[in-house]
Structure 1
Amino acid sequence: MSTSSINSERYSGADYLAENPTWHEEDAPWKAGHIARILRANAVDPQSICEVGCGTGAILEVLARDFPAAAIEGFEIAPAAYERSLQRTSPRLSFTLGSPFESDRRFDLCMAIDVIEHVEAPFDFVRAMKAISDRQVFHIPLDMNALAVGRGWVLEEAREKIGHLHYFDRSSALALLRECGLDIVDSFYTPWAIDQSGKTWKKRLAAYPRRLAFSLAPHATVRMIGGWSLMVLTRSR
């Protein structure tokens, strides 16, 4: 699988950097916490970890502390993000400009955290992850909900501002992984809109009905009003 089939050229250029100057690294502790949670809940203690599309490497920096025995490598195709990741290099943490799919490397665990929605050929991408690893972790935004579609968010913001090319709900995300030859070991929703609600008063206000509705009917709430992503642990079949 070539690097060119993973992402469009926009992620290597100035436009994406202008829209996302921090590469979302401020969210890394939150994401890393959920990754550690799903691994520990399933007694997974990988000795080698790679992240495809690691951005500035902030998630891996946190995981390196959580899994001190693991050799960890991040792969990124955007030069601007890669240059920032090099500041986090350590004896157990390294970064590569390019794709892990173009070598014969294998890893205990391969991760794609908020990446599948960006790739041009998601089935090829997931099968390539399967080919280089025993287990996989995915974090997938659930953009396909009634509220997002109704207000036009999916195309107007998700595609234009943050580069989402594909839009998932829970069922379609899990179906994609299964159809690529992966077994679902565990999955859970991550409450992005609730956990990040402290940023503005509008988000804090919106978090209350979301939390109540989710406690009563989680799947229906995610499908209707959104605000959640899906964390998934898989293994190669």
Structure 2
Amino acid sequence: MKIGDMYTNGQYLKHNPTWGADDAAWKADQIFTMIQKHGLKPATVCEAGCGSGEILWQLQQKMDRNCIFTGYDISPQAIDLACRHSNRNLTFRLADISEEKGTTYDLILLIDLIEHLEDYFEFLRILKDKSQHKILHIPLEMFAVSSLYPSFHLGQKRKVGHLHFFSRETALQVLRDLGYEVVDYQYTAGYRLPHHDYGIKDRMLSVPRRLLYPLAPDITARIFGGYSLLVLVR
């Protein structure tokens, strides 16, 4: 079985029946804030690896009503979920955007995606000329405490298909190495979402996360985890 087969044979859906829809409104808020902060006014928005399509649908409620949204995913199960949100300006395609020829957008979203890709370097190289701006959301799963529990990374691979694990520094350096200009980035605290309960160890870590983050955000994320990185590049 190929590594990516879990997204097409129903295995991923079995472990993740909502396909991330529970987090979508929160993620859309983070993305929209970044868009507004930098005065972006895209006429076309694409999400690669759109999953349930919920993020694009949530963004559509916030942005100009004439904006055109397109979601891509290689999973037929994901596209079946996403198509429930289809409308005149929001469509979904069962396809890999990196294989599309001559297709460009004003803004491409890569939300919790690159950690799933076997060769994310090549994927990001191909996408570079497909839009002026991109927004990525990258889980920061390479932190000090995680190194004490090898089962954490193995569990992330088994349950949600994460093949790569990033810190803030490695995530930003990858983008710069590929020729992207990092315009802005910020931490997002996914561990605070009420439905994210990963057990007693994670609940214990929430205490130092909350107390130390206002004083030293970088150190807190590097030691205790629980954060992702939202990055705007061009």
The two structures share one fold, judged by TM-score above 0.5? yes
Q: CA deviation at 1:125?
A: 1.1
Q: Report what 2:77 is aligned to.
A: 80
Q: CA deviation at 1:194?
A: 2.4
What amino acid maps onto 2:18 in structure 1? T
Instruction: Please say if 1:36 is aligned against 2:32.
Output: yes
Q: Report what 1:142 is aligned to.
A: 140
- Distance of 1:106 and 1:198 partners within structure 2: 35
- Distance of 2:211 and 2:52 partners within structure 1: 35
- Distance of 2:54 and 2:197 partners within structure 1: 20
Provide the secondary structure at the position in 1 that maps to 2:27: helix
Q: CA deviation at 1:25?
A: 0.7
TM-score, normalised to structure 1's length?
0.91
Aligned length: 230
What amino acid maps onto 1:164 in structure 2? H
Q: Report what 2:53 is aligned to.
A: 57
Q: List alignment gaps of at least 5 residues for structure 1.
A: none
What amino acid maps onto 1:192 in structure 2? G
The ranges of structure 1 where at least 4 consecutive aligned residues each deviate by more than 4 angstroms after the TM superposition are 197-206
Provide the secondary structure at the position in 2 that maps to 1:135: strand
Deviations 1:111-165 (A, max 9, x none): 1100000001111111122121110000000010011121124432111111000
Aligned identity (percent) is 36
Q: CA deviation at 1:209?
A: 2.6
Contact residue 32 and residue 63 of structure 1 kept, 8 A? yes
Q: Report what 1:26 is aligned to.
A: 22
Contact residue 53 and residue 77 of structure 1 kept, 8 A? yes
Contact residue 143 and residue 168 of structure 1 kept, 8 A? yes
TM-score, normalised to structure 2's length?
0.92
Q: Report what 1:92 is aligned to.
A: 89
Q: Report what 2:63 is aligned to.
A: 67
> Which segment drifts farther, 150-159 or 192-201?
192-201
- Distance of 1:10 and 1:95 partners within structure 2: 20
Alignment of 1:161-172 (within 5 A): 161-172=159-170
Alpha-carbon RMSD across the aligned residues, in angstroms, is 1.9
Q: CA deviation at 1:44?
A: 0.9
Q: CA deviation at 1:205?
A: 6.0
Contact residue 194 and residue 211 of structure 1 kept, 8 A? no
